[in-house]
Structure formats: structure tokens, C-alpha cells
């Protein structure tokens, strides 16, 4: 199995009968999800996506990626939130957090439109000078401020550089299937378009064209990514937690939350996991953080953060639990060199593989944190492969949906995201927001 | 003033009398700190460091940085925790989070020894192929596992590449002033050494050689950085919170914590702030997270994270508060281009500066979150300069010390960091740990 949940380190925190007692709630959540009768049931496309995704579009994604790889030095993915995090996370996990600095036969990849920053957009324009560029704008509506501004900038750049005709071949649009201004515009001009499905929310969209096109450009095997997700879809069907690790993870989270463990820290042991942790933070935080409830999602990368947040986790407030994601085979092998001077006293490690030391550091830390009163859930990924990562992504999406239903919220909406936008538009003087503008300005 | 605390958005959460009522505790913390009579008083070197730092060493740092810039393409800083975060944070903040990808006349900079990873060390060795390299190993004792292993690897690489003699000119050691195996070895071989002061803990060390050498290599004006810190040192002396923003910040944190606001989110609005936020997380988390207490430090970068954690912050559990760090002048100017097609409906923004939109997004978000029940502290930095950042660093260090004393902990130790190390050494079979080894192995 590609993903395995280890609950052994929870024994001091959760008794056997607690799992039994919460099973009816897991079953209820399971039935809501599978019968599509729960709140947010318009957004369940991701559940069966790994099997029934659009095969024709999938083939077009692969050939567009091939075309992009051949025709540019730099590929810019323009998107924010779910239209950004998944792709970046998968690329960093499977390739490198230093992807743009390693030797490779695929283009450099930059992400734009995920902030409002003169500094970052100016810098990226400078990096692009003298290079061949392709862009992929990813936006359901085409009207979200950050990506829309970036699309204006980089479309203009491409049209100046290549002329309108050639620019067409370098602009790829991922947007609504049929409606929306971006879709209309793309069809009018003649850009190749891909679909943000109606029934898949942003944070569940990494395995649609939203994530897959940039991931494929990076040279990642998206067939294997989908196959991993599909095998997870088949695997995690049983409603009983003893047969379903994704449900068990959801159950554990809800048990711990109700005991006052209100912050969950996702722990990685490699810098390549950092953005996957960010993806997970969006997935769970946006799905569960509503109606005054939800576990606060945080993340660390050990061992580096053992020397920053480690102290807090070991001895600070006891409202925490950790979920440790351990990746079995990273593909790299490196052993500690011997030092005849032994200045650091580490010759007892000479010849030992770093991955073995990392694993032991993980085990030692886990026991130390448990002894400090922090429940630890361990999730093992078999290896650092597209297949295992696809499996893991599905595991987390499913666990998140079930966990949200157990919490009693709609795991598929994000009503709170509108609040800042409304204020921002009003303060920016957008037509239609005049009434609240003055009111807000008085408070600044 | 370079750093300004705005408490206006707290009025719904903290009444005027609460500031008055907590002043005696601020004063008590102030006297503990200034009279050096509190716990941890062996580690107060950072308090007067911006004035009484070693001027001779400072000059050597500048000339070593000059030498490094001239003689290498890649500079590797080897360190973990406080021997890593500060330098990286300052370089990303003042230069770029994409520092290694921008055009510049200073070396690329990589950080090693902050993890245990075959993948990252193999990758860095590959990136170094065919390049000229200098390294700076930063470790008080020289025996911390992660940096010690990296130092073995890169010292070997340099000695193979250049021979032992020339390698000497390319290895810079920041360590204890006189004792310790690394210091002894460096003196024996003849490396240039810099000092990790005895009375400055890792998380307070960014303005010592620990941070300054890598920062200077990046071409940052370390004189201005120190001048900003010195002016802050002069500024924040008064014990009254109405005259001392650093103390006021400490007071606010303690008031909110005692009302159940147990998680603080440091908010930045530029990706260049991300690592400064990580530095801050270590500073506060490691100083306060002990004896079962302390505010849990988290961090976000808006607007990107408004589309991931924004939902939770707006409507999730109400145990949060935010501290927003707003940077006045980023140095870059960029205006939204006009689009004759206006496909995104954003022509009302045509010609508007991005930094203005960013500021309004910040204001709109702040009001939205306050309306959602999240207290917001606003800290304004005048600009993105070495001077303002030095000022900010001192502000935070001082606030942290006073906040820790108000909380009733020793803000300068980190006893919990040993727990994982002990377990790791035992499981790795380090001599001297045999007794607990078996015990731990049974639990795995």
C-alpha cells in the first residue's frame, strides 16, 4: 500500500472504545458523501475524478505540455489559491524546491498572480528578458484581481515580444467550460483552453487541468499521478475506520479536536514537502474553518524547525497534535563521510545513510513529542513517486470531506473569503460598492 | 520613525484600563531585563549589541565578504536554527525570495546543514559542479549533527577541488570565541574565524557574525542594518507602554493571550517577508513556548494565503489574533496596464500602482478580520531598507524578552530542544546512550 496510517503513538491519548463510539459519525459522514445528500453536494466531482476524468482533455494536456516544453525557457503559471498551490506543491515535492536552479531539460517555472506586488512582478519581468516564454492563466471566472492583473501584464509582454499571432500559441487558458469572460475572450482570440470543472472546488482541483498542465510541463508523469489517486479511490470505500485509513484519520482528528487539541501541525522531514504542507493547510483550513470551529492547520519541516518551533511543540501549550508524513524512499542515497580528525565526534555515523539518520531522527522526535503530551499520527508514504503522491492527495481530500461532515460544517464552501474582497473593492472605488466605502474609510 | 505600532484596530478587544492595569507587569519585566536580574540573564548580550559590538570583527566581516564575493559563484552557509534563519530571512527580505534567480553581481547563496536529507545535499553538490565555491560553517559547538555532517561533505568537496591549502581561503568558520572542537580545529588548520558570542542565544544572533557574514556576502549594507538596530535600542528605553511600542506590543500580546487568544499569526503582504516571519516564529516560539504556556506562532503571506487560510481566519475558531507587518515603500513601482477589452472588468484599476492596491487590500482585510472577531495589531515599517529592518529586528527581540518575562518564563533557554536529540542519539547508537536505547526501540 502506498499510504499507511500508523495509530500506535496515539495509545496514551485515545482509547479503543473511542474509535468504536465515533464510528456512527464516520458512517453518517460516509453516507452523506456517497449518497451526495450532504451540504455542498454540488462540489463532489473530485470523488470519482481519478476514474472518470475527461480522457480527451487529458491527452490534450500532455500534448500542450510537450509543446510548451519545446518552445520556452520559462513557463509562467498564473493563478491564486487552489489554482496555484496544488501545482507548485506537486512540482516541488516530486522535482525539487530548487526546481529552477537544478539542471534539467524542462522549462523554469514561475508562479504569478498569487500576490499584489510591484516587487515580484517587476522582478519576474526582468528574469524573463531575453528568454522564450509561455503562460498558463488559471481562473474560473477570469475576474479575480491578482491573476487578472498578472494576465494583463504577461499577455501584453508576449504580444509585444512575439506579435499577437505567435502569442496565441504561447498562451494557455484554464477556465470555465463554457461561460465567463475569460472563456469568451479565449474562444474569440483562439487560445487553447482547458476546463476548471463546475463540480470541483479550487482546493480539490489539483488533479484537474488546473494542476495537471503545469505539473506535466515540469516533466512529471501525470498518468502515474492519476493512477495513484484512482487506486486510493478504490481502496478507501469501506465505511469502517478499521478498513479505511482515510476515514480513520478523519475520526482521529475529530476525537482529538473535541479533547481540546485545536491545532494540528503537519510535519514533513524534507524541504520538498513544504509546499505540499501548504496545499494541505488550504485543503483543511478552508474546508473546516467556519461557523466558529475547525482545527487550525499549521506546518513544520523537521529537522530544521526542531531548532525553531521544536521547543514550543515539546513544552508549550498542550492544545497541539502532530501528523507526521514520512516518505519512505526519496530516491537519493548519500552516506556520511568519515573524518579522520573526528572534530564533531560523529564518526559513529560514518558510512551511515542520511535517509536512515533522517528516519531515526523522525522516530526519536515522535517519541519525545508523545512524551511531551503531543499526540502523534504517523502517515507513511511508500516513496517519493508520482503514484504515491497521487494516492496521498486522494487520501487527504477524502479524509477532509469526511472530517468536515463529522465536524458539522459544509466542507465545500468558503463564504468567509468574500469579506476581504468586498472591503477591498469598496476601498478601491469599484463601481457598485459606493455605499460601504465611506463607512470603511472612517474606520481606517 | 522606522517602525510604528498602530493599536487602533484593537479597540473592540482591549479597553484603555487594561493597558493601565498591565503596566506594572511591563515595568517589572523592564526592570528584570535592564538590571539583568531575571532568569536567563547570562544571555542578554543582544540588548546593547547594536552599540557595543566588536568593531574590529565587524570590519573583518566586511572584508571577508568582499573576498568571498570576488572569489566564488556560490556561497554556502552551513547552519541550523538561529545559525540559519536570520541570515536567510534578511537576504530574502532585502534582496529577493528568488535571490538565486535574479541578475546580480554577488554570488548565489545556498543554505546547507539545516536538514538531514540525501536529496538536498546531493542536489546542492550537483548545482556546485563546475562553479567556484566558498563556505561559512556556523556552529557554536561544532558538534550539532546537521551542520556537522554538511561541513564534512563540503569541506571534503573543497579540498578535493582546490587542495587543502587553497580550500583554507574558502572556508570561513563562525563559532565559539575560544573553546570547542570547531574553534580548535579552525585555529590548527588556519581558517579565518568569527565569533558566536557567549551571551547571545541563537535566535537573537542575527546581528552578530552568525547573520552578518552571509548578509554582507549578499551585498547588503550591514552598517545600515546595525544603525537601524542601534536607533531602536536608543528609542525603546522608556518603561511606559505609551512611550515604547516594543513594550506595548508585548503588553498587547499578554492581554490577548489571557483572554484565550492563544495563536498569533504574523501577516506579511510580500513573498519577501516569508522568511522574516519564520525568523519571528523561532524568536517567539522558542522564547515563550515552555512550562505548558506560550502563544503559538503562525504566519501567512497575503494576499496569496487569503485564498488558503483566509477562510479559517475570517470564520474559524476565535482563538486567533493577527499582527500585520506592513512595509511602506518597497522600492518597486508598477501600475496596472489598461486593457481595451476589459475582459476582467478591472479597468477601474488601470494606471493604479500595485503598491497602492496592496495597501488597500491590507486595509480591507484588516477591517474584515476585525469584524470577524480577530484582533489586529498593525506594525508599519517605513520602507524596505536595511535600516528599517535592523530597527524592526531589535523591536521584535526586545518585545520578545519583555513578553516572555511577563508570561513568567525564561525567555532565553530552550530546554525542550534536547529531548529529541537524546532520543535520536540513543536510537543511532551513540556511545553513552545505551541505557535508554532498548527502552525506546520497544516503543517503535
Using the beta-carbon criterion (under 8 Å), do B320 and A368 form an inter-chain contact?
no
Q: Look at residue B327 and tell me whether its pLDDT is greater than 80.
A: yes
Residue A336 with chain B: CB contacts under 8 Å: 149, 152
Interface of B with A in 207-266 (CB under 8 A): 262-263
B115 touches A at CB < 8 Å: yes
DSSP-assigned letters across all residues of B28-57? HHHHHHHTT-STTGGG-HHHHHHHHS-HHH
Residue A116 with chain B: CB contacts under 8 Å: 269, 303, 354, 357-358, 361
Question: Which residue of chain B has the CA closest to A124?
Answer: B102
Region of B291 (left: φ > 0; alpha: ψ -120 to 50; beta: rest) is: left
A369 touches B at CB < 8 Å: yes
Distance, CA of A430 to chain centre: 32
The residues of B annotated with a catalytic role in the active site are: 286, 307, 421
> In residues, how long is chain A?
444
Per-residue pLDDT, A294 = 98
Using the beta-carbon criterion (under 8 Å), do B116 and A357 form an inter-chain contact?
yes
pLDDT digits (tens, 9 = 90+) for A53-85: 999 999 999 999 999 999 999 999 999 999 999
Contact A330, A362 (CB under 8 A): no
Q: Which SS3 state, helix, strand or coil, does residue A418 take?
A: helix
* Residue of B96, B126, B346 with shortest CB distance to A149: B346
Q: Which residues contact B439 (CB under 8 A, 6 or more apart)?
A: none
CA dist B89 and B109 (Å) reads 12
User: Average pLDDT in the B333-346 region?
Assistant: 93
CA dist A226 and B276 (Å) reads 37
User: Could you tell me the three cell numbers for B185?
Assistant: 580545529
User: Could you tell me the three cell numbers for B153?
Assistant: 561533505
Picking from B354, B366, B361, the residue whose alpha carbon sits closest to that of residue B330 is B354
Q: Catalytic: which of A146, A286, A288, A397?
A: A286
Per-residue pLDDT, A332 = 86
For residue A286, say if its preceding peptide bond is cis, omega within 30 degrees of 0.
Answer: no
For residue B303, say if its preceding peptide bond is cis, omega within 30 degrees of 0.
Answer: yes
Q: Look at residue B1 and tell me whether its pLDDT is greater than 80.
A: no
Using the beta-carbon criterion (under 8 Å), do A304 and B80 form an inter-chain contact?
yes
* Residue of A153, A294, A313 with shortest CB distance to B312: A294
Ranges of beta strands (E only) in A360-435 are 376-383
Per-residue pLDDT, A1 = 73
Per-residue pLDDT, A443 = 93
Q: Look at residue B289 and tell me whether its pLDDT is greater than 80.
A: yes
Per-residue pLDDT, B264 = 98
Residue B333 with chain A: CB contacts under 8 Å: 118
User: What single DSSP character describes residue B280?
Assistant: H
Tell me the shortest Cα–Cα distance from A105 to chain B, in angstroms.
15
User: What single DSSP character describes residue B117?
Assistant: -
From edge to edge, which strands make up the β-sheet containing B296-301? Answer: B3-6, B376-383, B320-329, B263-268, B296-301
* Residue of B101, B119, B293 with shortest CB distance to A272: B119
Contact A64, B290 (CB under 8 A): no
CA dist B210 and B83 (Å) reads 6
* Residue of B116, B371, B422 with shortest CB distance to A358: B116
Contact A374, A318 (CB under 8 A): yes
B438 touches A at CB < 8 Å: no
Question: Which residue of chain A has the CA closest to B99?
Answer: A123
Residue A421 with chain B: CB contacts under 8 Å: 364
- How many Cα neighbours within 13 Å face the side chain of A184? 10
CA dist A321 and A264 (Å) reads 5
Residue A185 with chain B: CB contacts under 8 Å: 341, 343
* Residue of A152, A343, A346 with shortest CB distance to B145: A346
Using the beta-carbon criterion (under 8 Å), do B429 and A114 form an inter-chain contact?
no
Distance, CA of A70 to chain centre: 27
> Exposure of B269 by Cβ count < 10 A (0-12 exposed, 13-18 middle, 19+ buried)?
buried
Q: Which residue has 512540482 as its cell numbers?
A: A91
Residue A368 with chain B: CB contacts under 8 Å: 419-420, 422-423
Region of B205 (left: φ > 0; alpha: ψ -120 to 50; beta: rest) is: alpha
Contact B272, B93 (CB under 8 A): yes
- How many Cα neighbours within 13 Å face the side chain of B281? 31
CA dist A200 and A206 (Å) reads 10
Contact A353, B118 (CB under 8 A): yes
Q: Which residues of A158-187 are buried (b: 16+ CB within 10 A; e: fewer)?
A: bbeebeeeebbbbbbbbbbeeebbbbebbe
Contact A245, A121 (CB under 8 A): no
* Residue of B306, B354, B384 with shortest CB distance to A420: B306
Residue A100 with chain B: CB contacts under 8 Å: 98, 101
Residue A111 with chain B: CB contacts under 8 Å: none
Question: Which residue of chain B has the CA closest to A83?
Answer: B307
- What are the distances in angstroms from CA B111 to CA A43, B97, B141, B208? 42, 13, 19, 18
User: Average pLDDT in the B295-323 region?
Assistant: 97
Mean pLDDT by 10 residues, chain A (444 residues): 94 97 98 97 97 97 98 98 96 97 97 95 96 97 93 96 97 96 94 97 98 98 98 98 98 98 98 98 98 98 95 98 93 92 92 95 97 98 97 98 98 94 93 91 92
Per-residue pLDDT, A380 = 97
Using the beta-carbon criterion (under 8 Å), do A346 and B310 form an inter-chain contact?
no
Picking from A345, A309, A302, the residue whose alpha carbon sits closest to that of residue B139 is A345
Using the beta-carbon criterion (under 8 Å), do A368 and B419 form an inter-chain contact?
yes
Q: Look at residue B330 and tell me whether its pLDDT is greater than 90.
A: no
Per-residue pLDDT, B329 = 81
Q: Catalytic: which of A36, A104, A179, A421?
A: A421
- What are the distances in angstroms from CA B319 to CA A120, A319, B278, B296, B376? 33, 11, 21, 10, 13
CA dist B376 and B359 (Å) reads 15
> Exposure of B43 by Cβ count < 10 A (0-12 exposed, 13-18 middle, 19+ buried)?
buried
Per-residue pLDDT, A330 = 78
* Residue of A123, A142, A365 with shortest CB distance to B344: A142
Question: Which residue of chain A has the CA closest to B121?
Answer: A334
For the question of residue A421 being annotated catalytic, the response is yes
CA dist B103 and A81 (Å) reads 29
Q: Which residue has 491545532 as its cell numbers?
A: A263
Using the beta-carbon criterion (under 8 Å), do B84 and A304 form an inter-chain contact?
yes
- How many Cα neighbours within 13 Å face the side chain of B391? 24
Q: Which residue has 525553531 as its cell numbers?
A: A308
Per-residue pLDDT, A12 = 96
B130 touches A at CB < 8 Å: no
* ipTM surpasses cut 0.85: yes
Question: Which residue of chain A has the CA closest to B344?
Answer: A143
B439 touches A at CB < 8 Å: no
User: Average pLDDT in the B389-403 region?
Assistant: 98
pLDDT digits (tens, 9 = 90+) for B220-262: 999 999 999 999 999 999 999 999 999 999 999 999 999 999 9
Q: Catalytic: which of A307, A418, A438, A442?
A: A307
DSSP-assigned letters across all residues of B119-184? HHHHHHHHHHTTS-EEEEEE-SSS--HHHHHHHHHHHHHHHHHHHHHHHHTTEEEEE-SS-SHHHH
Q: Look at residue B331 and tell me whether its pLDDT is greater than 90.
A: no
DSSP-assigned letters across all residues of B320-352? EEEEEEEEEE-S---BPPP-TT-TTS-GGGTT-
Amino acid at each position: 500500500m502506498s499510504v499507511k496510517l500508523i495509530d500506535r503513538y496515539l495509545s496514551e491519548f485515545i482509547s479503543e472504545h473511542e474509535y468504536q463510539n465515533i464510528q456512527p459519525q464516520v458512517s453518517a459522514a460516509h453516507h452523506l458523501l456517497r449518497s451526495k445528500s450532504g451540504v455542498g453536494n454540488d462540489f463532489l466531482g473530485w470523488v470519482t475524478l481519478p476514474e472518470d476524468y475527461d480522457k480527451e482533455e487529458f491527452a490534450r494536456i500532455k500534448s500542450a505540455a510537450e509543446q510548451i516544453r519545446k518552445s520556452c525557457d520559462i513557463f509562467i503559471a498564473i493563478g491564486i489559491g487552489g489554482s496555484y498551490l496544488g501545482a507548485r506543491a506537486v512540482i516541488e515535492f516530486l522535482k525539487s524546491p530548487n526546481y529552477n536552479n537544478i539542471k534539467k531539460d524542462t522549462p523554469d517555472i514561475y508562479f504569478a498572480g498569487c500576490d499584489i506586488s510591484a516587487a515580484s512582478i517587476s522582478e519576474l519581468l526582468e528574469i524573463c528578458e531575453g528568454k522564450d516564454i509561455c503562460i498558463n492563466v488559471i481562473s474560473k471566472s477570469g475576474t479575480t484581481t491578482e491573476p487578472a492583473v498578472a494576465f494583463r501584464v504577461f499577455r501584453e509582454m508576449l504580444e509585444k515580444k512575439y506579435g499577437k499571432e505567435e502569442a496565441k500559441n504561447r498562451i494557455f487558458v484554464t477556465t470555465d467550460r463554457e461561460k465567463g469572460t475569460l472563456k469568451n475572450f479565449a474562444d474569440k482570440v483562439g487560445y487553447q483552453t482547458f476546463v476548471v470543472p463546475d463540480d470541483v472546488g479550487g482546493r480539490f482541483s489539483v488533479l484537474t487541468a488546473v494542476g495537471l498542465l503545469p505539473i506535466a510541463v515540469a516533466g512529471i508523469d501525470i498518468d502515474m499521478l492519476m493512477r495513484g489517486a484512482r487506486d486510493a479511490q478504490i481502496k478507501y470505500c469501506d465505511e469502517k475506520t478499521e478498513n479505511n485509513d482515510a476515514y480513520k484519520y478523519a475520526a482521529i482528528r475529530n476525537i482529538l479536536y473535541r479533547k481540546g487539541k485545536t491545532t494540528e501541525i503537519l510535519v514533513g522531514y524534507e524541504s520538498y514537502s513544504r509546499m505540499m504542507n501548504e496545499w494541505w493547510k488550504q485543503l483543511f483550513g478552508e474546508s473546516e474553518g467556519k461557523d466558529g470551529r475547525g482545527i487550525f492547520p499549521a506546518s513544520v519541516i523537521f529537522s530544521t524547525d526542531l531548532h525553531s518551533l521544536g521547543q514550543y511543540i515539546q513544552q508549550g501549550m498542550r492544545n497541539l497534535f502532530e501528523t507526521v508524513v514520512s516518505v519512505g524512499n526519496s530516491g537519493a542515497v548519500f552516506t556520511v563521510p568519515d573524518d579522520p580528525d573526528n572534530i564533531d565526534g560523529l564518526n559513529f555515523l560514518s558510512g551511515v545513510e542520511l535517509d536512515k539518520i533522517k528516519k531515526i531522527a523522525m522516530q526519536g522526535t515522535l517519541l519525545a513529542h508523545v512524551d511531551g503530551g503531543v499526540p502523534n499520527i504517523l502517515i507513511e508514504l511508500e516513496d517519493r513517486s508520482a503514484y504515491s503522491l497521487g494516492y496521498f492527495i486522494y487520501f487527504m481530500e477524502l479524509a477532509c470531506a469526511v472530517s468536515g461532515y463529522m465536524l458539522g460544517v459544509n466542507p465545500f464552501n468558503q463564504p468567509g473569503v468574500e469579506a476581504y474582497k468586498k472591503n477591498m473593492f469598496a476601498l478601491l472605488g469599484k463601481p457598485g460598492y459606493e455605499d460601504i466605502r465611506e463607512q470603511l474609510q472612517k474606520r481606517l
